[in-house]
Structure 1
Amino acid sequence: MSLPSAVVLAAGEGTRLRPLTRNRPKPMLPAGTRPILEHVFDQLIEAGIDSITVVVGYRGDRIRSYFGSSYREADLTYVRQDRQLGTGHALRAASSIIDGTTIVVNGDQLVDSRLIDDVATAHDVDAAATIGLVRRQEIGEYGGAILDDDGTVAELVERPQDKRAYKLNAGVYAVEPSIFDAIRRTEPTDGESSLIDAVTTLIEDGETVRGTVSDSYWLDATYPWDLLDLSDALFDTGVIGDEVASSATVHDSATIRSPVVIDRDCEVGPGAVVGPHTCLGENATVGSNAVVERSVIDADSRLGANATVVDCVTGIGVDVGHASVVPGGPGDVRVGDRFFEDEPIGALLADRVTDRGGVTYAPGTIVGATATIAAGTTVRGRIDDETEVRS
């Protein structure tokens, strides 16, 4: 089945990725050096889709201003979800635009165009919906599907805890307009209207919901350290590869260790070492004799001379001072009211963090946006937004 249009659900914040999402939604966080959402658009276009409706909400202005009314050869139309009340509620925001079969994808997860193709091929109008599935041993905090022998979906379970033969729900759907009636009739859970619950309503009504299992990739970033794993996976799958932008300046005495992506207008100083598995966003600077390894350094950030940065994720406009050290993970991290042990992150530095030099970050440190850290300080744990840390 040829499906020329798609709806991308990109209204959520990504609360478990705070404080990186203080100023932008999760779909605009970097996968490599480009927003997650840009990769999503690329894969939809590769699958032959040329009309995309984007449901925006939290910080939606960041999405509109970045992409405008078109991306590559695809037209972009925006609708707003005024309150973030779940994925079903988000899809309803686009109901006036949808008049036939359409593809629905999450804007904050990376899927291969092959998965989109597989869903489109498996779907026909005799089914109310078709779901894209992938094989994963660990489904964890995601959703799983149980399939009957004929490929129809018998059950959808969020965060399954039993040992049945689940396939992971990759968040790619082909849906008929009947989905909107199912959304309306489905009782919200904890105040949120879930697309998964609406599809379950279709199954309970006796409607046909198919599942198609694809051998393509599916990638997500739920927690801050996942952004490092995400970039690793993009290198490993060949979605991104070694690239040094023509406008970047790399000193002859610097060492670049593959794989790396060095974006436009970056500067790498004398004696610096960049990589492996490192992404430098647009206009980032690595000072003389600094070392940066397995890190995602976002746009307009600066690593001072003699700094060492390992297993680090930064926001935009971060300034790591002279001789500061992020020694790398693993570390214990607090996210909301949960504690995680031995996660592979050295530090997360949110937008416009500034350290004055000689700072040491204990593994697992999270520093909030616009925080300032005095010279010579050792920091650990979680530092709130706009905090001034004194030595």
Structure 2
Amino acid sequence: MPIESAVVLAAGEGMRLRPLTKYRPKPMLPVTNVPILEHVFDALVASGISEIHVVVGYKRDRVQEYFGFEYDGVPLTYHVQEQQLGSGHAVLQAQPGVDGPFLVVNGDQLTSPEIVDAVVEAHAAGEQLGTISVVESELASRYGAVSLDGDTVTDLVEKPGEGHHRLLNAGVYAFEPAIFDRIASTPAEDGERSLTTALTSAIETGSTLTGVRTEGLWRDATYPWDLLSLSAEMLDRSDEEVTIDPSATVADGAIVRAPVVVGPDAVVAPGAVVGPYTTVGRNASIGCNAVVEHTIVDEDTRIGPNATLVDSVTGRGVDIAAGVTIEGGDGDVRIGDRIHEEVELGAVVADRTELGGGVSVEPGTIVGAEASVATGVVLDGVVEDGVEVVR
């Protein structure tokens, strides 16, 4: 029986991406001016999927209002995971809408149609309970490792953290409906039902899982600076080096250095330099003589005249005044209780934050949502949500 439906897991917040996920879930963060989730839908539609079930939870209205009930002619059905109790629990929420073999795809990771196609074809060729996408990556120890004997999965380790694992679980699966009973019958651990735990239990009790190796695109954003890598990857893969929406305005005298995407109703003023590896979101503006490189400028954000932004990510509705300097380069970044050393990040400036004229921002700075920074301040470290910083 051919696979026609997919379950997309899009209920998570993405805590390590805070403050960017304060007002929207991780799958709705932008990569080349569209949500990560939209790239996932594109891959599924390109592979011939005709029905998509979306499991939503944290800030679910952001997903539902953006996409509605259809994407590119494919119906979208939403299933609510009221509490985020693990990936297996998320899959179970879609059970009432699924009939026959189906895909499961993470909605917060970039994946390509090549990976989806490979999983669909491998699953159709056998009689196994499930089929798992596998890519070779040095990141296997960070995300999830797979052990294979030929094309048979012998072990799955979720976020092993150490060891010399090379085969990574790329988060695209095909399953028979029997997987629902397997997940439901696998005991929860610490209150959560993990899909990996259920699959490990299936292997141990004699069920067959097939691993299909593929060289297709797989990318994840764990931390805010990872969004810059995802954006660069997609810009490099684009057929167009420079994409300027017809409704955007790029003034004579502005310089656009490929690769760049300029979104609808955006404005780039005279003398501004935009790019390379930069995206300018809907209704954003880049002021006269501003320099914006290797940066994600989200929608409704204003970059003032003579400002400089390098290696940075803004949220929505950010106001960066004239002469602000975010030079970029390597810095130490604090996320929660952990310090990440020598990260190539200018700054993260979250939703609806204001940086006053002449503010200077040291590499690795995180500025929370709805913060306000007075003229001439030098910023370093972490500025929490809603904080007012004065000289």
TM-score higher than 0.5: yes
The letter of the residue matching 2:139 is E
Contact in 2 for aligned 1:258/1:277 (Cα 8 Å): yes
Pairwise CA distance, 1:254? 0.6
SS in 1 for 2:157: strand
Contact in 2 for aligned 1:371/1:386 (Cα 8 Å): yes
Corresponding residue number in structure 1 for 2:248: 248
The letter of the residue matching 1:50 is S
Pairwise CA distance, 1:166? 3.5
* 1:106-185 equivalences in 2 (<5 Å): 106-124=106-124, 126-149=127-150, 151-161=151-161, 163-164=163-164, 166-185=166-185
* Deviation string, structure 1 residues 300-356 (Cα, Å, up to 9, x no partner): 001000000000101000011110000102111111111100111100000001012
Contact in 2 for aligned 1:332/1:342 (Cα 8 Å): yes
Q: Give 4+ residue runs of structure 1 displaced > 6 Å after superposition.
A: none
Most deviating of 252-261 and 234-243: 234-243
Corresponding residue number in structure 2 for 1:75: 75
Pairwise CA distance, 1:279? 0.4
* Deviation string, structure 1 residues 97-140 (Cα, Å, up to 9, x no partner): 11210000000001100110100000146200000111113323
Pairwise CA distance, 1:250? 0.8
Contact in 1 for aligned 2:142/2:161 (Cα 8 Å): no
Contact in 2 for aligned 1:32/1:240 (Cα 8 Å): no
* Deviation string, structure 1 residues 166-225 (Cα, Å, up to 9, x no partner): 311000000111111221222223322111111111111100100000111101110000
CA distance in 1, matches of 2:198, 2:359: 50
Aligned-pair identity in percent equals 51
SS in 1 for 2:141: coil
Contact in 1 for aligned 2:139/2:166 (Cα 8 Å): no
Q: Is residue 11 of structure 2 the alignment partner of residue 11 of structure 1?
A: yes
Give the superposed CA RMSD: 1.3
Q: Is residue 89 of structure 2 the alignment partner of residue 89 of structure 1?
A: yes
CA distance in 1, matches of 2:292, 2:230: 17
The letter of the residue matching 1:111 is T
Pairwise CA distance, 1:239? 7.1
* 1:1-391 equivalences in 2 (<5 Å): 2-124=2-124, 126-149=127-150, 151-161=151-161, 163-164=163-164, 166-238=166-238, 241-391=241-391
CA distance in 1, matches of 2:239, 2:145: 26
The letter of the residue matching 1:271 is G
1:162/1:340 Cα in 2 relative to 1: closer, same or farther (>3 Å)? closer
CA distance in 1, matches of 2:239, 2:75: 23
Pairwise CA distance, 1:2? 3.0
SS in 2 for 1:140: helix
Pairwise CA distance, 1:373? 0.3
Pairwise CA distance, 1:246? 0.9
Q: What is the total number of aligned residue pairs between the two structures? A: 390
SS in 2 for 1:181: helix
CA distance in 2, matches of 1:64, 1:108: 15
CA distance in 1, matches of 2:168, 2:185: 25
The letter of the residue matching 2:289 is N
1:140/1:345 Cα in 2 relative to 1: closer, same or farther (>3 Å)? farther
Unaligned 5+ segments in structure 2 are: none
The letter of the residue matching 2:273 is V
CA distance in 2, matches of 1:88, 1:247: 43
SS in 2 for 1:168: strand
SS in 1 for 2:230: helix
SS in 2 for 1:334: strand
Contact in 1 for aligned 2:349/2:367 (Cα 8 Å): yes
Contact in 1 for aligned 2:138/2:165 (Cα 8 Å): no
